[in-house]
């Protein structure tokens, strides 16, 4: 074993020892706030701890309306104000128990069995297929057609597109047996044919496929794939320039020289899973969040992070600063809801996805994002579609598609994400005065003391 591997093993064992000696403490508080449930997590700190907590809450479809994060030293103390999908405090004891089990002393084991974001059951046997390449009209239809021809059943999938790039994680099994596919020759053929589809005649160098039988957190993996594919390389938002377009994120990064931090201020239109997307990006870019405040109690989300690189240093160059800005903007924009949302719910069958996406293609529609889920014998799929020419989709086109697929199984849905009230839209928080009265502010933010105002 080489020295680097030995060092990593020692670090991992030390982290496990620290966690065993200082198990996480999780408190679910439904009393302190009339608007939200406060979830307080105190734990030994390690790289990725914040992302693990945010991932658990996000996977339970909870909305984080505020968050206060402090992790100086070897310990972190986080407080999250959360509400359910209906904008209410948490009342379901099963959800509360799941939070405590997932974030408490046994969280390492529990994280392995968390529900994946595309709905694959933990016990289901499947093979994971990862695809990246240049996006183009009809690409998704071709991918599903190839998988059908290869006798592969799509159990679940998630597809993102951004900056003319596409990334997807597809869970498949054998059509006949329902088992994962582990035959080496067959897997090689699946990869070869999918890569041929991805390359087309324009993407000979950057298209990529990967096949594995291991577990993955789908949406984190999609971020990693698109980051590796450098989807952030164009269509940047100009740093610091005010805009009246609230759909465009504003990200500002500057160094707090006297404290040795880099300060990241992010403002954009709020949407589900925004905090997960930004924390995921910071973590995978090897930045450590020492302090942060998050406020989404309004149409805009405001996030402020005090970070350092994992080596303990703040950002040291203009090139690195710009790269972080571009990557955060891309992370926000990847989970695009651009286009019309179509929901399909029907009895699952072989070739369903191939047929549906073919009908989209034949009617001039392109899929900008998709979530494919199988619940028992039911297929529950969500597609965001646009006109291939870039124009708004005509109502007669949608009706033609619905008539061909089935009026009763394909529905047009509007995005339903607004739990705001006029009173909620007035709040706004900043870490700007954190160091002015640090002890009192941290204790207040963590819900350990009450405001005197």
Residue 423 has pLDDT above 50, yes or no: no
Residue 242 has pLDDT above 80, yes or no: no
What is the pLDDT, as a whole number, of residue 209? 87
Q: Calculate mean pLDDT across residues 146-167.
A: 95
Q: What percent of the chain has pLDDT over 90?
A: 61
CB 357 within 8 A of CB 144: yes
As a three-state string, the secondary structure of 46-94 is CCCHHHHHHHHHHHCCCEEEEEEEECCCCEEEEEEEEECCCCCCCCCHH
The domain spans of the chain are 21-114+253-275+287-317+421-445, 127-232+337-413
pLDDT 10s digits, 77-113: 899 999 999 999 999 999 999 999 988 766 544 444 4
Alpha-carbon distance values, 51 to 6, 157, 282 (Å)? 26, 22, 9
Residue 238 has pLDDT above 80, yes or no: no
Residue 116 has pLDDT above 90, yes or no: no
- Among 20-24, 145-149, 250-254, 339-343, the minimum mean pLDDT is found in 20-24
pLDDT 10s digits, 302-352: 999 999 999 999 999 999 999 999 999 999 999 877 889 999 999 999 899
For residues 349 and 379, give the distance between their C-alpha atoms in angstroms, rounded to a whole number: 8
Q: Calculate mean pLDDT across residues 207-222.
A: 82
Please report which confidence band the pLDDT of residue 292 belongs to, taking 50, 70 and 90 as the band edges: very high
Maximal C-alpha separation, the chain: 69
Q: Which of 222, 216, 224 is nearest to 111 (CA)?
A: 216
Residue 36 has pLDDT above 50, yes or no: yes
Please report which confidence band the pLDDT of residue 47 belongs to, taking 50, 70 and 90 as the band edges: confident
What is the pLDDT, as a whole number, of residue 205? 65
Both structure tokens of 6? 């030995």
CB 264 within 8 A of CB 253: yes
Residue 8 has pLDDT above 50, yes or no: no
What is the pLDDT, as a whole number, of residue 22? 62
Residue 417 has pLDDT above 60, yes or no: no
Please report which confidence band the pLDDT of residue 263 belongs to, taking 50, 70 and 90 as the band edges: very high
The fourth-level CATH superfamily of domain 127-232+337-413 is ACT domain (3.30.70.260)
Q: What percent of the chain has pLDDT over 70?
A: 77
Helix residue ranges, H only, 336-434? 352-362, 395-405
What is the pLDDT, as a whole number, of residue 118? 37
pLDDT 10s digits, 10-23: 455 555 554 555 67
Please report which confidence band the pLDDT of residue 453 belongs to, taking 50, 70 and 90 as the band edges: very low
Both structure tokens of 257? 């020289």
CB under 8 Å to 129, separation ≥6 — which residues? 169, 170, 171, 172, 190, 194, 209, 210, 211
Q: Which residue has the higher pLDDT, 3 or 231?
A: 231
Please report which confidence band the pLDDT of residue 437 belongs to, taking 50, 70 and 90 as the band edges: very low
- Among 229-238, 349-358, 396-405, the minimum mean pLDDT is found in 229-238
The chain-wide mean pLDDT, for the chain, equals 82
As a three-state string, the secondary structure of 124-181 is CCCEEEEEEEECCCCHHHHHHHHHHHCCEEEEEEEEEEECCEEEEEEEEEECCCCCCC
Q: Which residue has the higher pLDDT, 435 or 284?
A: 284
Residue 4 has pLDDT above 50, yes or no: no
Q: Which of 329, 334, 393 is nearest to 360 (CA)?
A: 393
């Amino acid at each position: 074993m080489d020295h680097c591997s030995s060092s990593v093993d020692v670090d991992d064992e030390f982290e496990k020892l620290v966690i065993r000696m200082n198990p996480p403490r999780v408190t679910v508080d439904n009393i302190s706030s009339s608007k939200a449930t406060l979830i307080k997590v105190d734990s030994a700190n390690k790289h990725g701890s914040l992302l693990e907590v945010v991932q658990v809450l996000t996977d339970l479809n909870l909305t984080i309306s505020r968050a206060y994060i402090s992790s100086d030293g070897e310990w972190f103390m986080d407080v999250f104000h959360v509400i359910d999908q209906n904008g209410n405090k948490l009342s379901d004891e099963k959800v509360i128990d799941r939070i405590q089990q997932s974030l408490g002393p046994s969280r390492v084991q529990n994280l392995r069995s968390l529900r994946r974001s595309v709905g694959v059951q933990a016990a289901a046997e499947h093979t994971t297929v990862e695809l990246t390449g240049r996006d183009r009209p009809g690409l998704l239809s071709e991918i599903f057609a190839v998988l059908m021809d290869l006798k592969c059943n799509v159990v679940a999938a998630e597809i993102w597109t951004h900056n003319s790039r596409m990334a997807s994680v597809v869970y498949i099994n054998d059509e006949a047996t329902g088992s994962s596919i582990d035959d080496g020759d067959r897997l090689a053929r699946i990869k070869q044919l999918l890569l041929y589809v991805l390359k087309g005649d324009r993407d000979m160098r950057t298209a990529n496929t990967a096949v594995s039988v291991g577990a993955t957190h789908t949406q984190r993996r999609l971020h990693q794939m698109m980051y590796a594919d450098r989807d952030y390389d164009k269509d940047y938002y100009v740093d610091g320039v005010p805009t009246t377009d609230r759909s465009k994120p504003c990200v500002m990064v500057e160094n707090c020289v006297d404290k040795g931090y880099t300060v990241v201020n992010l403002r954009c239109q709020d949407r589900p899973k925004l905090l997960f997307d930004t924390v995921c990006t910071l973590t995978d870019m090897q930045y450590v969040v020492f302090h942060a405040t998050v406020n989404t109690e309004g149409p805009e989300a405001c996030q402020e992070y005090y970070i350092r690189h994992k080596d303990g240093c703040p950002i040291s160059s203009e090139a690195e600063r710009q790269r972080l800005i571009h990557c955060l903007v891309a992370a926000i924009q990847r989970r695009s809801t651009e286009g019309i949302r179509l929901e399909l719910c029907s009895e699952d069958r072989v070739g369903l996805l191939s047929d549906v996406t073919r009908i989209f293609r034949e009617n001039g529609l392109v899929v900008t994002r998709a979530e494919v889920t199988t619940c028992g014998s039911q297929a529950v799929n969500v597609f965001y579609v646009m006109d291939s020419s870039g124009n708004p989709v005509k109502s007669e086109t949608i009706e033609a598609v619905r008539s061909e697929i089935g009026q009763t199984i394909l529905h047009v849905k509007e995005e339903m994400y607004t739990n705001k009230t006029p009173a909620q839209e007035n709040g706004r928080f900043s870490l700007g005065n954190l160091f002015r009265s640090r002890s009192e502010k941290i204790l207040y933010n963590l819900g350990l003391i009450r405001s005197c105002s």
